[in-house]
């Protein structure tokens, strides 16, 4: 069994980006600039956005963090996005999800200009991804593809079972793994809350991507010997022995499942850091596209 070390793989990608940005700057070109909008005080969202801003600093990107109260009106939020769309210096815009109830995710996602949509959530970019056209691929599934590539895991002809059909992870993951690109060409089964024979399907999987947000859900009796396990879950579980009052738990019962696997991602330190590296790659591309357009 080999651990898929997301911290290491992510660092390798960030180091490469850092070199490329230094080259850009040395040529007198503008460096990538990511603008992140954080609405409210959700603890997990704060952690994620801070990690994104920190990665920008580490690589040499510019970043702007815009914080808004959770009472912000939809109109004001859309106006903020419009201003960022119009700002030439800003290459990538991300609005951290989830948003407060009174704001429509769809309206916000549709408001970000597709050329600056480094989250890859805009319908135009989702459409391009489905068609296999070059675009911004959502950070979590893109990061997982980069991790698979980093470890050169053979995917061609394999049966991949994706558990969870969210727009952010499960659904795009199923598209990428079934696509004709490098590290695609899987036969994919996309499972969700109405799947009746989940255990049987998982037992047939060469690759399982668990993205349902239920701690420890994937047990050892659901996993075939030698399977590749990608755990996207990162739930905060109350734990009084921790200073923070919680620990992070994946969707896979790691201790029991790991001995059966060929490869497995830990939580934390697996998929999480890869999503950051993927976002940075998207932001770099958004900026590089501007340089080419000039
Ligand atoms: N919330 C959870 N994952 C993501 C993500 O990839 N992007 C944004 N904007 N919000 C998220």
Model pLDDT for residues 235-258, shown as the tens digit of each residue: 999 999 999 999 999 999 999 999
By the 8 A CB rule, do 232 and 211 touch? yes
Does residue 104 sit in helix, strand or coil? coil
User: In the annotation, is 16 catalytic?
Assistant: no
| Positions of the chain with pLDDT under 50 | none
Spell out the domains of the chain, with CATH numbers in brackets: 28-113 (3.40.50.10860), 139-272 (3.40.50.720)
Residue 168, ligand 1, Cβ within 6 A: yes
Active-site position among 91, 115, 117, 119: 119
Residue 34, ligand 1, Cβ within 6 A: no
At 161 the pLDDT is 99
User: In the annotation, is 52 catalytic?
Assistant: yes
At 16 the pLDDT is 98
Active-site position among 14, 91, 96, 251: 96
Atom 6 of ligand 1 has which residue's CA nearest to it? 139
Q: ∠172-86-34 over CA atoms, to 5°?
A: 50
Residue 97, ligand 1, Cβ within 6 A: yes
Atom 9 of ligand 1 has which residue's CA nearest to it? 96
At 294 the pLDDT is 67
Structure confidence by residue, pLDDT tens digits, 113-129: 999 999 999 999 999 99
Residue 95, ligand 1, Cβ within 6 A: yes
At 293 the pLDDT is 76
Q: Which atom of ligand 1 is nearest to the CA of 140?
A: 6
Q: Is the pTM of this model over 0.85?
A: yes
CB-CB neighbours of 289 under 10 Å: 12
At 203 the pLDDT is 98
CA 140–ligand 1 middle distance (angstroms): 8
CB-CB neighbours of 229 under 10 Å: 26
Compute CA 77 distance to the chain's CA centroid, rounded to the nearest angstrom: 23
CA 187–ligand 1 middle distance (angstroms): 27
């Amino acid at each position: 069994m080999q651990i898929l070390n997301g911290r290491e793989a992510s660092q390798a990608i960030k180091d490469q980006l850092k070199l490329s940005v230094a080259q850009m700057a040395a040529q007198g070109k503008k460096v990538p600039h990511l603008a992140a909008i954080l609405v409210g005080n959700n603890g997990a969202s704060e952690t994620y956005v801070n990690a994104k801003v920190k990665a920008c600093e580490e690589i040499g990107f510019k970043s702007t963090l815009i914080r808004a109260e959770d009472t912000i009106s939809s109109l004001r939020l859309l106006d903020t996005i419009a201003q960022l769309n119009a700002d030439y210096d800003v290459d990538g815009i991300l609005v951290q999800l989830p948003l407060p109830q009174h704001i429509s995710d769809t309206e916000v996602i549709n408001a970000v200009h597709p050329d600056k949509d480094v989250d890859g959530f805009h319908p135009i970019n989702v459409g391009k991804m489905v068609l296999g056209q070059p675009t911004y691929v959502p950070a979590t599934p893109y990061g997982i593809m980069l991790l698979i590539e980093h470890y050169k895991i053979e995917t061609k002809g394999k049966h991949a079972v994706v558990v969870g059909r969210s727009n952010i992870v499960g659904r795009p993951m199923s598209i990428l793994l079934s696509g004709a690109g490098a590290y695609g060409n899987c036969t994919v089964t996309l499972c969700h809350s109405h799947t009746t024979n989940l255990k049987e399907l998982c037992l047939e999987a060469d690759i399982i991507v668990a993205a349902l947000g239920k701690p420890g859900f994937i047990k050892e009796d659901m996993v075939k010997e030698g399977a590749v396990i990608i755990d996207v879950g990162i739930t905060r579980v109350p734990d009084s022995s921790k200073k923070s009052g919680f620990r992070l738990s994946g969707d896979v019962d790691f201790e029991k499942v790991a001995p059966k696997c060929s490869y497995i991602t830990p939580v934390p330190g697996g998929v999480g850091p890869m999503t950051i590296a993927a976002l940075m790659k998207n932001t770099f591309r958004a900026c590089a596209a501007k340089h080419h357009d000039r």
